[in-house]
Structure 1
Amino acid sequence: MYLSPALLVPLFALALARPQDAAPAAAGSKKNVYLASCTSRSLYIADTASAVVYYNGPVSGSSPADVGVVSEPARDWEGQTRRVTLSAGRFTSSIAASADALLKSQIAGIAKLGDEDLVCFVDGTSTFRFREGLLGLGETTCKADYWCASTDVGT
């Protein structure tokens, strides 16, 4: 799969990425994964992608541990199984075909990160911004369609 330079998020940009309006319950989850629709804009290009934004622990005040592009251009999450390899392992999500009709915070599907099970909820409001390039002239904005939380309550 070809990934355009406009959608590749440099590692240093991850330090700048903070959720602007993350799901409040996410802070209590051991792992937090957002299934997002992203738009990248630079001086001459605008592209879309479906991406996974992964936090290894609470979201509040932290940077994502990894971001993985699932498809370019962006595709619907509903009714599909999507896969991407993250630093924490293989991530797979299965969102119900009718999930786009659900209300915020309702269960929309399931996911797996490595051997860990997650449950996915409708989000629709959490946003993430990544600055790109030497002068920060490029920008990728992602809106979380779904938030997946770890079902593991152990430490």
Structure 2
Amino acid sequence: MLTEAFERLEGAADAGEIGGYGVATWAGLSNGMFTIPELTALANTVGGPHHHFRAVQFPVSLVHLAVVADALDGRGALAEARETGLDVFASAPLGGGELLGAMTEELVRSIDAAASPAQAALLVALSAPGVSQVLLSASTPAHWADARGAAARKPLSPDRLRKVIDVLGT
């Protein structure tokens, strides 16, 4: 199915209908259904060395910390996407809003003591090595203000990310 999809998307790109395409998955990369190298190889097979495969989207958050831990160790989907030059769109950075109820004062302090709970949670996704963009939805102006506040903060250092991962586990 992916081969057929890539063929159609390469055709659309060659026809000037789209500039590029990507793969969005909730668990395809984390459960081993496919890897970034496999997706890139498929794009090369279908579209040649000048293929139009440009991006991947998958969850990156405090709930999905394994992908961040892997990236800090130079492996996994984030590291592979960065090595390949793909943009990574991190989805579900707030776990569908459920993370906000789990953000204890101690957890927020371990991430960034000056941040709100939403900003602290978003800051983890924004700081993950290899993430190009973080996708989120907001239902109020206050939510957007928190998102802007998180984006304006200095990214967490790899050491700080490791400490958060050590506290929460993967």
Report the TM range for the smaller structure's normalisation.
under 0.3
| TM-score after normalising by structure 1 | 0.24
Structure scoring higher RCO (CA < 8 A, sep ≥ 6) equals: 1
The structure carrying a bigger strand percent of its residues is: 1
**Structure with greater helix share of residues:** 2
Asked which structure has the greater CA Rg, the reply is 2
